[in-house]
Amino acid sequence: MPRKLPARAYQTVFSALMALFMSFLMSGAITAINVGIPSGFFGIWMHAWGYAFSIALPVILIVAPIVRRLTGLLAESPLAPVPVTKPQGQPGSLDSTR
């Protein structure tokens, strides 16, 4: 199995891949909306994608911590520890009410 990057690189790699895929798909969609799909569409799209990615990567790196903080205010984290509760009822009983 190939060696992975260290954990400290996780956010940067995630951000780069997110910028890559989102800019690729969005630039293709916006290019098709603006010019249709003429001959030479792929070249026009790749030109737009170059600009889109060069803007998307630094924006994601700057905005991601803000979005993470806002998300934490709006939703519970799936990574938060789950509190351990003791079962109710008789020991070994499936009845959770008394």
Residue 36 lies in a domain: yes
Average pLDDT of span 7-34:
96
With a CB cutoff of 8 Å and minimum separation 6, the contacts of 86 are none
Between CA 14 and CA 36, with CA 55 as vertex, the angle to 5 degrees is 105
27 belongs to a structural domain: yes
Mean pLDDT to the nearest integer, 69-79? 90
Answer whether residue 90 is part of any domain.
no
**Is the entire prediction scored with pTM above 0.75?**
no
Task: Assess if residue 5 is contained within a domain.
Answer: no
Residue 54 within any structural domain of the chain? yes
Task: Supply the range of the domain harboring residue 27.
Answer: 10-74
Is the model's pLDDT at 23 over the cut of 60? yes
With respect to residue 95, please indicate whether it lies within any of the assigned structural domains: no
Q: Is residue 1 part of a domain?
A: no
> How many domains is the chain built from?
1
pLDDT score, position 90: 59
